[in-house]
Amino acid sequence: MHMQDRKISAGVVPYRRNLLNIAVLILFCLSGIPAFAQTLTVVRPSRHAQSPRLSDIRGGAPAVNGPTEIKLFRANRLNGVESGSGGGTLPDPTIQTSFGPLINATPGISFDGTDVFHAGYIPSDSNIAVGPNHIVETVNAAYTVYSKTGALMFGPNSIRSLWTGLGGACSASDGGDPIVQYDRAADRWMITQLGSLSNPYSECIAISTSPDPMGSYFLYSYDFGLYLNDYPKFGIWPTATNSAYLASYSLFLLASLPAGSEICAYDRAAMLAGQPDAMGLCYSGVIADVLVPSDTDGPTPPLDGTPGYFLNLYSYSSLALFKMTPNFAAATATLTQDSIGIASFSEAPPAPQPGTTTTLDSLGDRLMNRLAFRRFPDHESMVANHSVAVGSRSGVRWYELRGPVSAGAGFSPYQQGTYAPVSGGSYTVIAPAVTGTNYVDSGVTPGVTYYYVVSAVNTAGESPNSNQAGARPK
């Protein structure tokens, strides 16, 4: 079996998996015993280049082949319990079954994004990032640039065309799992994708050289050897020193055998400067299936020295918070872990689809992207969510974790809830013969939420109910 190393700097432990390690990993996985030891690895780009301006790239149009179903790689474990089992029937003490109060909001713009025939895959991996003057969208195999009013400015182009001039897998294939981020503190853009879905595996990272998302990009490829770096997620961590692009991956040996997670801090300052040897500090063997990295919101960066956070849905009553502190000058890092208790929940079941027996995976075994971090004058806050079961339905469990403004802050739940308004229940007919387009329901009680549906009746029969709407009279 050919074993491929990741490129390293002198004097550090290489990222290598030998046959004995693989055999031990298989043995322990089959026995159900966690087999991963956390290992810090210093990684360097295997390839580096600078792209032309995107507007000068030719032949970058994505293939229009229609939608293709993509394969989901999954470790099927939520702290030792088979994913999809729902974790038993657990009571949910945080459930919210009614709609909240209406808020005043100004309607924004609405426009069509990249269609499935250009994106090329089902389900779509849709991402957008918003800057001062642009909106950038990535969807599976394509990226597109819009104005803030929704006008198409560039694309859709194939993701791989962005890595023109880099060579290797990044410029040869649309690996998928793309992420786009706007780095507000630097006024730059980041676009990433998987290098390949076959061995050898890699991660492709592009950093814009200017605030213009249609300009040129610094291009990087980082090798993962025999391990598919599936489900990558990225966060911006703009501390004054040792600022990082945080990343998390779920590793699969030869895209098959779960091998734990890997979390990385890439040297943000070096990548913004286009340095060809911009390092990454990566911990592999993290015993957590899917982690999401902290991603800074708002104008205020984290305090200098604040570790990068990675949050995991560890069990049906706890979160695991990993704190990684990189030191790029010394090519080292530290990693600690906290456990955060949460209200118990049951994992959301697969969702049925009309016209087929094929169900949709709820991904209820993991937190959803992003883990948004914001520093306020008197506290720090992170918010996250995931899907949960609410009887035979699904709901959204959300958390706000708070800590003091401190480089070593500890976080705990400040508030949490499960949003699952009642829908599709038994309705009482209140107006059987409305012939106009308006109706006023006068038999209501202030402060009580009411839910309404409408159906049409003629000589041919009655239509299905409309979508449900809710209102709470004052």
Asked if residue 8 belongs to a domain, the reply is no
If asked whether residues 133 and 99 sit together in one domain, one would say yes
Asked if residue 6 belongs to a domain, the reply is no
Q: What is the mean pLDDT of residues 362-387?
A: 96
If asked whether residues 397 and 450 sit together in one domain, one would say no
If asked whether residues 330 and 468 sit together in one domain, one would say no
Asked if residue 10 belongs to a domain, the reply is no
According to the model, what pLDDT value does residue 9 have?
30
88-102, 307-321, 412-426, range with the lowest pLDDT: 88-102
According to the model, what pLDDT value does residue 396 have?
94
CATH classification of the domain holding 436? 2.60.40
If asked whether residues 436 and 470 sit together in one domain, one would say yes
Residue span of the structural domain in which 446 resides: 426-474
60-69, 327-336, 352-361, 444-453, range with the lowest pLDDT: 60-69
If asked whether residues 337 and 474 sit together in one domain, one would say no
Q: Are strands 152-158 and 412-419 parallel, antiparallel or unpaired?
A: unpaired
CATH classification of the domain holding 237? 2.130.10
Residue-by-residue DSSP string for 271-318: HHTT-TT--EEEEEEES-S-EEEEEE-SSPPPPTTPPEEEEEEEETTE
Single residue among 419, 443, 462 that ends a domain in this structure: 419
Single residue among 392, 419, 446 that ends a domain in this structure: 419
According to the model, what pLDDT value does residue 119 have?
60
**Total number of domains constituting the chain:** 2
Q: Which is more confidently placed, 103 or 145? A: 145
Asked if residue 378 belongs to a domain, the reply is yes
pLDDT for 291 beyond 60: yes
Query: Which of 367, 343, 387 is CA-nearest to residue 288?
Result: 367
Q: Which is more confidently placed, 261 or 63? A: 261
According to the model, what pLDDT value does residue 99 have?
66
If asked whether residues 441 and 357 sit together in one domain, one would say no
If asked whether residues 307 and 433 sit together in one domain, one would say no
Q: What is the mean pLDDT of residues 362-382?
A: 95
Q: What is the mean pLDDT of residues 11-37?
A: 37
- Output the pTM of the full model: 0.81
User: What's the Cα-to-Cα distance from 310 to each of 80, 247, 373, rounded to whole Å?
Assistant: 20, 9, 11
Asked if residue 68 belongs to a domain, the reply is no
For residue 6, cis peptide bond before it (omega within 30 degrees of 0) = no
If asked whether residues 435 and 391 sit together in one domain, one would say no
Per the CB < 8 A criterion, the answer to whether 261 and 293 are in contact is: no
pLDDT for 420 beyond 60: yes
List, in order, residues 6 or more apart from 396 with CB less than 8 Å away: 385, 386, 387, 388, 418, 419, 420
CA distance 140 to 118: 9
pLDDT for 82 beyond 50: no
If asked whether residues 121 and 255 sit together in one domain, one would say yes
How large is the greatest C-alpha to C-alpha distance in the chain, in angstroms? 83
Single residue among 372, 390, 419 that ends a domain in this structure: 419
If asked whether residues 290 and 367 sit together in one domain, one would say yes
Rounded to 5 degrees, what are φ and ψ at 55?
-70, -15
List, in order, residues 6 or more apart from 153 with CB less than 8 Å away: 134, 145, 146, 147, 214
Asked if residue 69 belongs to a domain, the reply is no
Query: Which of 140, 162, 152 is CA-nearest to residue 65?
Result: 140
According to the model, what pLDDT value does residue 439 have?
82
Q: Are strands 121-122 and 134-139 parallel, antiparallel or unpaired?
A: unpaired
If asked whether residues 454 and 344 sit together in one domain, one would say no
Asked if residue 3 belongs to a domain, the reply is no
For residue 156, cis peptide bond before it (omega within 30 degrees of 0) = yes
Of all residues in the chain, the percent with pLDDT exceeding 70 is: 81
Rounded to 5 degrees, what are φ and ψ at 206?
-125, 130
Asked if residue 12 belongs to a domain, the reply is no
pLDDT for 108 beyond 60: yes
Q: What is the mean pLDDT of residues 374-397?
A: 93
CA distance 403 to 382: 9
27-36, 171-180, 199-208, 429-438, range with the lowest pLDDT: 27-36
Q: Which is more confidently placed, 20 or 256? A: 256
If asked whether residues 408 and 443 sit together in one domain, one would say no
Q: Are strands 280-286 and 39-43 parallel, antiparallel or unpaired?
A: antiparallel
44-53, 110-119, 126-135, 370-379, range with the lowest pLDDT: 110-119
